[in-house]
Amino acid sequence: MEEIFTNTELPDILEIRNASQSYDGGQNWILKDFNLLVEDKPEQGQFVILLGPSGCGKSTVLRYLAGLQKPTQGEVYINGKLRTEDDRIGMVFQQYSSFPWMTVLENVELGLKYKGVPAKERREKAMEMIQIVGLEGHEKKYAQYPTLSGGQLQRVAIARSLLVNQSIILMDEPFGALDTKTRLKMQDFLISVWEKVHPTIVLVTHDISEAVYLGDDVYIMSTAPSKIIEHVKIDLPFDRDKTIKRDPRFTELVFYIEDRMMSLEL
């Protein structure tokens, strides 16, 4: 692995090893010799943030981890083992991904339905997750706008993803389509979910303030052909609320990452 990662005695939960991605037979590379290592933090969880310029392959990295795409070269490991089709990991996209002809409950339980879980069991588990994400009372509503707000629709996607795998959730600009007030509320909501379930959350965002507010580890990716060029450890208090944004260290970290992002060649 590159020196940017420290492999400790903690178990590995996610790893991408020497991955490269080309769509034209190797004439151009989106990712080249890309490495990522995320160690598990049992009964704690973590926020891992990917930052980088548009087109550097951030979403591609998430697709590797989710099993939606395989790298042209390289390998992906989940829980220390080479990724297989049996590794189920949910992913939340910027665009609302719920099926509008299904209810909230039907959307949340969908992953368990595909896994063959009996109806009674999957509905009980889906209702537990609906309660965790604060959608109790909405389970019979159709998962569509304006029946549900944008924030509520993203909660449906988060609940569905967590029910597939409560230890890992992947998020690709999940709040990008929301207005500022709703986005800020969803950041706090995501922290509350993490406090209840303790997953490892890998989040792609372009919002540096959001990255510092949520992140434990922020990885900055270079322009294509991309790789991780810097790891910023967010040394803020473990338990966070919006008051941390007034902390001078918060501002210092935001400005530092902003300067690093601006220094990248576009």
pLDDT tens by residue, 100-150: 899 999 999 988 888 888 999 999 999 999 998 989 999 999 999 888 988
pLDDT tens-digit readout, 32-84: 999 999 999 988 999 999 999 988 999 999 999 999 999 999 999 999 999 98
Residue with tokens 């989040």: 203
Residue listed under structure tokens 């959350």:
201
How confident is the model at residue 86, as a pLDDT? 83
> Residue 2 pLDDT more than 50?
no
The answer to whether 73 and 94 are in contact (CB under 8 A) is: no
What's the Cα-to-Cα distance from 9 to each of 40, 78, 180, 214, rounded to whole Å?
10, 16, 40, 25
149-196 confidence digits (pLDDT tens): 888 998 999 999 888 888 999 999 988 878 899 899 999 999 998 998
Residue 6 CA to residue 167 CA, distance in Å, equals: 21
Query: What are the boundaries of each domain within the chain?
Result: 97-164
Quick one: tokens of 203?
């989040």
d(CA 203, CA 92): 9
- 21 beta partners: 31
- Give exposure, 7-25, as e/b (b: 16+ Cβ within 10 Å): eeeeebbbbbbebbbbeee
Residue 1 has pLDDT above 90, yes or no: no
Is the whole model's pTM more than 0.75, yes or no?
yes
pLDDT band at 97 (very low <50, low <70, confident <90, very high): confident
Residue 88 has φ and ψ, to the nearest 5°, of -95, 120
Tell me the sheet residues that pair with 34: 19
Q: Is the pLDDT of residue 266 over 70?
A: no
